Structure 1
Amino acid sequence: MYTGYFATASNRADWTEAVVLTDAESGEVIDIADCRVTLTVADDGGCVRLRASTDDGSITLPDVGTFQWDFDATQMSGLCPGAYRVGVRISRDDRTVQLVIGNINVMEGIDQQ
């Protein structure tokens, strides 16, 4: 499981991240083609502000072992500047693993054109 911080994001721009899963021992990429991946962004009070999932296509699997999410600027504009919690889980059959428990800082975008 990864714990830590994502790079700072703007609430006036897209936020796209891609994660590649590799086996810690062999270094080989893990095939996640048959997996469900979900992501939740919540504020400090626990209110969910953003969600993404392979169920609705907001998380994609662009390559073997890779998942990617893309929140557009309109979605990000709903986030006030501040710190948010991020969780990512992956499921296959009846097994679920927490991949990420992290944080992201969102800053107020300056350019308003």
Structure 2
Amino acid sequence: MYQANFEPVSNRADWSQPFEIIDDGTNTIITDFTGVSVTIEVREQGACYPRLTATIDNGKITDQGNGILEWLFPRSEMTGLCANTYEIGVTIERDDFTTQYLIGTVPVVDGVVSR
């Protein structure tokens, strides 16, 4: 499992982030996502329920090719977050086995612009 501290993001802009998934057993980048489920959730610190959720199925995680995935939380969802530090987690389900791939924090700053 990886631990990450993300750079600040604005609550008045889209937040996209490319990432790779490394197979811990072989230490190689996974390039075939057939049968793989990736879930990313962002929540307030200490909360139990996510404020943002991205999956391949909901279209917020897309395969960019060559083992690169990218998540996108649109501005319309980011504006629902107050300036604060949030927790982020990523799980991967493959062959009916779920692993916690990443946990971390992301500071969300007030982007000031109202529209």
TM-score band, normalised by shorter chain = 0.7 to 0.9
Which of 79, 84, 94 is the matching residue for 1:77?
Answer: 79
Contact conserved, 1:40 with 1:50, CA < 8 A, in 2? Answer: yes
The answer for unaligned runs of 5 or more in structure 2 is: none
1:39 and 1:96 map into 2 onto residues whose CA distance is 13
* Equivalent position of 2:20 in the other structure: 20
Give the ranges of 4+ consecutive aligned residues of structure 1 lying more than 4 Å apart after TM superposition.
23-27
The letter for the 2-side match of 1:29 is I
* Equivalent position of 1:109 in the other structure: 111
Q: Name the % identity.
A: 37
The letter for the 2-side match of 1:40 is E
1:112 and 1:14 map into 2 onto residues whose CA distance is 14
Pairwise CA distance, 1:24: 6.6
1:37 corresponds to 2:44: no
1:12 and 1:103 map into 2 onto residues whose CA distance is 19
Pairwise CA distance, 1:64: 3.1
2:46 and 2:27 map into 1 onto residues whose CA distance is 38
Q: Structure 2 length as normaliser, TM-score?
A: 0.86
